[in-house]
Amino acid sequence: MLWSLIPHLTLAAAQVVIPSPVEHTGDADACQGYVLKVTQSDCGLDGELTLKGKCGAFGPDYEKLKLTVRHDNDDRLRVHIADAEGKAHVVPDDVVQDGWPKLEGQGQRESNLQFDYTEDPFTFKVTRKSDGEVIFDTSGQALIFEEQYVRVKSALAEGSNIQGAAQSSDNFTLPITEEGYVRTLWNRDAYGVPGRTNLYGSHPIIVNQKVGENPSASGVFLLNSNGMDIKFPEQGKYIEYNTLGGIADFFFLNGPTPADVSRQAAAIWKPSPMVPYWSLGFHSCRYGYEDIFEVAEVIANYSAAGIPLQTQWMDIDYMYERWIMTLDPPRFALDKVQYVIDHLHNNSMQFIVMVDPATFSGMPSLSAENYEAFQSGLQQKAFLAYDDGNIYQGVVWPGPTVFPDWTAEGTQGWWDSEFMRFFNTENGVNVDGIWLDMNEAANFLPHIEANIYRISKEREAPPVRKLPRTIPRTIEDFPRFEAGKNISEPWGEGQPQSGPEQVLGGQGGSMMEKRQNDNSSGNYPESDADFMSAGLDSQWLYPPYRINDRRAPPSTGGGADLGIKNISDFTARTDIVQGNGVRMYSEHNLYGSRHSIATRNSLLKRRPNHRPFTVARASYSGTPSAVWMGDNIATWEQYISTIPQMLSLTAVSGIGVVGADSCGFGGNTTETLCARWAWLGAFNTFYRNHNEISAISQEFYRWPITAEAARNAGKVRLQLLDYLYTAVHQHSVDGTPTVWPVSWVHPQEAESVKIETQFYFGPSILVAPVVHENSTSVDVWFAPGETFYDYFTLAATQGEGWKKLNDVGYETMPVYIRGGSVVPLRKGDAMTTEQNMQLPFELIVTPGKDGKATGALYADDGETLDSECSDIHFEFDGSKLCIKGSYNHPVHLSSVVFAGQDKGRDSKVYGPKVHGQGCETQFDEAKKTVTVKVDLKLDCDLTIELC
């Protein structure tokens, strides 16, 4: 059947408010669970579960289940419970690298985890053998397994500190003792990242950390992509998984340290792939650039202010009427955009644009007949569609839109071809990375029966833009933008132009003229009534169990935009069957990850052997993208709440590169807030300043205090960039976190788990931002018994718990190197990452209480997938620094600074090419440092000895 673009709805006479569907009143607590019949196997346990008595809590029960228990390896136990007929949804392999682990395993004797069970009723317990700690225990809690509801409930031991269940803006250690606390996993467009709600990503993994005298940690990952509530009944005495169906596929992770759990979890879905070196530099963006001249001016202003800018971004402003894969010709002509991109590339900088999934589909005042991306998608059957072939439509930034079906056979080819066309490296928009927004999928329809044309009109989607302006001034760095000329004027014969006919087809010019002269948001049908849809009692729109989705509370009264609140509100319809035969109901939470995977594939096809860089908003466990944490607000509360958000997504959820929009996306920032955030952002693994069209511009150079803070923070970030790059590489190898919660570094201290506003950047750098407005002091917790060295002065502080630091000006932030570390720094000044890569290294050695220190450095070309590399490890024993590793990429060592030294020392270097060579050594009595000037290329193992 040929696809058609007919709204799959019947027009009603008026806006509608429909009564709620039948309420489901089943008593889940009265359910009796299942009885187990066991068949032991060599590598685990197999069994058949039979329903003990009718439950019907939220629909019909599965009467027969299949239990499979496997010891995947020494530290991972899998408990897999599925319906016997295999009808319940299973998370598919295509959403992670190399698929999910197979149901294979080793014998229980070799495992560090013990599985025990009762048969009638079936319950189970997972215990760590070494210390007897109970990791999961369902004793006394009936298993409920229905088509649209699965419940598994476990007791939590005293002293449990639960972390994860991301994405949330709650504390890193979740407030599970709070009455009624629940973590809902259902990806949504969550402007303002409010607390106690579901946000953009869903990561059904938790870490349970015990701190104090006998610290430990374990992990639980539930491989289920359905919407779910994770509850903590009786003020945290239990953890209760309530899912909208699917299966109960649990992975139990032994730890016994939190970082071990991170690595064990990453082995399930494979760690985040390595990113380009440049992507760790500073990024700038704004939603609301008037034209390409304004973009050029931002680039030039950063340069003039001496603030290192690595990558310039563009939001939807560059698009024709906000249509993906187009340019807005008068304001963002192709040749002018290419001129700016060439400037960036010629100055060792990069360029990124946004590509949402939603694709304009046409409306009465603006046809999509000549819109190539849409028409080619139609031909490839690349969009979500109803069973009868009609395409599903929603409303996003362009107005009426369709949504790619990432599982359909032709979608990847369509996406590839659009990338090859629009982002052509020779004659297109030659980007270096892609920004993936609105991919939850976000939808402006407040309820499924809403009229797409009415909502488009009310949302001014798309808005009418001001006429192209006269260029107000000349920019020295961009002389072709001549003051006094209109931005839409061509640059002369022979120059490539990008009129609407090029990006849309032959009628583009007439369409644009009409939109500009209408001074309205479009001509709509006379009736703005909402549509009435058949099947409003559909179980796939209104599941009997209602998760605590912030965007879908039950209706409470009349109104044009109420209707029945359901899980499809403000997103794509969940009753639609995708190309893979699975309803969006079960794979809504996978949509963003599939967007990331498809885009990564297209970027690899466009530039083979170059590491793709994508930054996404929506995510699920195993996403290949970096993640930014969404549309935050410019407040002091949200500034500091970005720390636990980042820690949860990185340390627990296993995403290597994560960051917040520095200075806040929504609302007006202030000079001092932006200054503090410039520093905090510099210690996010992803560093970007971005805000919205209705807020004041907030580039770092706009205020003197902020500019000074950004210059200083940018310099420190570039100094530490290879240290960060090494941490990101290690994460890509085995899942080791790139940022660390304080409690993960100091688990033996009970106080550490309370600390939410400090963190470790990589394994060694303690970051302690000022947290209050108008304050120049901060209380910093230094772990007792450890030594910390001020990053800027290398002055030592002995850890004794809390210490107040005063006179912390806006030009700085408390940063400390943990004792026992060897930290590689770039020595010298740079404005770009390429310049940074040309600088020599200086090693900072900060001995611990035992006088020892360790560290690492990974270096490669920063760009290609198969680059040769140097992987170097440093170990200091109090007198000798041993340098060992592989040396296939140039690394130049300028000097080594030994902190915590009470006297001057001579030095010698030993290696295959040097035999006891003396080096110039300087002692700084005030700083208590010994600096050894080495000036050697690291191409072999060396030992530097202090004499």
Is residue 332 within 8 A of residue 341, CB to CB? The reply is: no
The candidate with the shortest Cα–Cα distance to 659, out of 669, 649, 667, 651, is: 649
Following DSSP, what letter does each residue of 557-612 receive, concatenated? S--TTTS---TTTTS--TT-B-TTS-BHHHHGGGHHHHHHHHHHHHHHHHSTTBPP
Identified catalytic residue from 437, 549, 569, 722 = 437
Is residue 902 within 8 A of residue 915, CB to CB? The reply is: no
- Strand ordering across the sheet containing 122-128: 113-119, 122-128, 134-137
| Paired strand residues for 83 | 65
Tell me the backbone φ, ψ of residue 585, rounded to 5 degrees.
-50, -45
Sign of the torsion formed by the C-alpha atoms of 497, 503, 505 and 506:
negative
Is residue 152 within 8 A of residue 198, CB to CB? The reply is: no
Phi-psi region of 567 (alpha: psi -120 to 50; beta: other; left: phi over 0): alpha
Q: Which amino acid is at 387?
A: D
Identified catalytic residue from 440, 569, 692, 860 = 440
Q: Which amino acid is at 330?
A: P
Helix (DSSP H) and strand (DSSP E) numbers for the chain: 17, 50
Integer angstrom CA distances of residue 647 from 176, 231, 739, 757, 845: 18, 21, 7, 10, 26
Identified catalytic residue from 631, 692, 708, 749 = 631
- DSSP one-letter code for 650: I
| CA atoms of 283 and 299, how far apart (whole Å) | 11
Identify the H or E element spanning 784: none
List, in sequence order, every beta strand (DSSP E) within 758-849: 759-761, 765-767, 778-782, 787-790, 796-798, 801-805, 815-818, 821-826, 841-846
Record the tokens describing residue 477, joined without a space: 């760095």
Tally Cβ neighbours within 10 Å of residue 646.
25
Sign of the torsion formed by the C-alpha atoms of 219, 224, 225 and 230:
negative
The candidate with the shortest Cα–Cα distance to 868, out of 885, 883, 890, is: 890
| CA atoms of 722 and 726, how far apart (whole Å) | 6
Record the tokens describing residue 160, joined without a space: 């449990």
Tally Cβ neighbours within 10 Å of residue 370.
16
The candidate with the shortest Cα–Cα distance to 240, out of 193, 176, 304, is: 176
- Using a 10 angstrom Cβ sphere, with 0-12 exposed, 13-18 middle and 19 or more buried, the burial of residue 233 is middle
Is residue 735 within 8 A of residue 654, CB to CB? The reply is: yes
Record the tokens describing residue 282, joined without a space: 């500073």
| CA atoms of 888 and 321, how far apart (whole Å) | 49
| Paired strand residues for 841 | 826, 893
Is residue 296 within 8 A of residue 343, CB to CB? The reply is: yes
440 is a catalytic site residue: yes
Scan for tokens 């996010």, then name that residue.
Answer: 684
List, in sequence order, every beta strand (DSSP E) within 335-377: 350-354, 359-360
Tally Cβ neighbours within 10 Å of residue 502.
17
Which residues does the annotation mark as catalytic? 437, 440, 631
